[in-house]
Amino acid sequence: MIARTLDEYESMALRMATDAEVLDGLRQRLARNRDTFPLFDTDRFRRHLEAAYLEMWERHRRGVSPASFRVGPTC
């Protein structure tokens, strides 16, 4: 599902819109992967985002200037 150019993107969109087999194959692939791939782990994403918000808040409370930081792994 990665398009490297606008023409490629348009071609993919047209194929999905007009070829039921292509669209059905994509739906099946997404259904198979949604329970095992990190991309679909919305709860993990939420925990990461909340950890980032907490870190930003703590930095603000301590009077630290805005800067890049990393959020460690969450379970």
pLDDT in tens, the chain (75 residues): 899 999 999 999 999 999 999 999 999 999 998 888 888 888 999 999 999 999 999 999 999 999 999 998 876
**Helix, strand, or coil (residue 8):** helix
Residue 61: per-residue pLDDT = 97
Question: Is the torsion defined by CA of 18, 19, 22, 28 positive or negative?
Answer: positive
How does DSSP classify residue 67? -
